[in-house]
């Protein structure tokens, strides 16, 4: 029993040390969050995209199929950006207001959203081009 108690005290002592004024357990937790996000990124998006592809395959047009394919790469980045937000929170880096961490996360989030719009713009323009030809 004493050995177990001594081992627990060593365990607590190791994880209470700091590196760059951040506790070691926070750094490990941030790494776990990042690895978890990278692992589920592909699985989650494959499930979501396969569901959306089944849903869009029932329609007559191919526009919605192309839109689903267009959101795949930005969707992967969006999961990483969300994970980065939680990593910064765990590391006690301020992500609100005018902080540097907040600017990084917001910039990446906005970049991802506009990347989705950019990838979808060509598809939507092609759709409107076809509609414009029908009105002439």
Q: For residue range 119-132, what is the model confidence (pLDDT) as tens digits? A: 888 888 877 777 77
Within 10 A of 78 (CB to CB), how many other CB atoms are there?
Answer: 19
More confident site: 134 or 82:
82
Output the pLDDT for position 43: 86
Residue 74 has pLDDT above 80, yes or no: yes
Q: For residue range 88-122, what is the model confidence (pLDDT) as tens digits? A: 888 777 777 778 888 888 999 999 999 999 988 88
For residues 72 and 49, the answer to whether their CB atoms sit within 8 Å is yes
Q: For residue range 20-72, what is the model confidence (pLDDT) as tens digits? A: 667 777 777 788 888 888 888 888 888 888 887 888 777 777 777 788 788 88
State how far the Cα of 73 lies from the Cα of 85, in Å rounded to an integer: 19
Within 10 A of 117 (CB to CB), how many other CB atoms are there?
Answer: 13
Residue 18 has pLDDT above 70, yes or no: no
User: Alpha-carbon dihedral of residues 44, 45, 50, 53, nearest 10 degrees?
Assistant: 150
Query: What does the block give as tokens for 87?
Result: 């990593």
């Amino acid at each position: 029993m004493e050995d177990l108690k001594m081992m627990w005290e060593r365990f607590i002592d190791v994880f209470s040390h700091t590196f760059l004024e951040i506790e070691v357990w926070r750094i490990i937790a941030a790494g776990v969050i990042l690895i978890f996000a990278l692992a589920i990124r592909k699985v989650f998006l494959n499930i979501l995209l396969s569901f959306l592809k089944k849903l869009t395959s029932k329609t007559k047009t191919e526009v919605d199929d192309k839109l689903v394919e267009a959101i795949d790469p930005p969707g992967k980045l969006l999961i990483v950006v969300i994970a980065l937000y939680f990593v910064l929170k765990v590391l006690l880096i301020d992500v609100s207001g005018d902080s540097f961490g907040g600017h990084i996360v917001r910039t990446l989030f906005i970049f991802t959203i506009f990347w989705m719009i950019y990838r979808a713009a060509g598809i939507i323009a092609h759709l409107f081009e076809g509609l414009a030809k029908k009105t002439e």
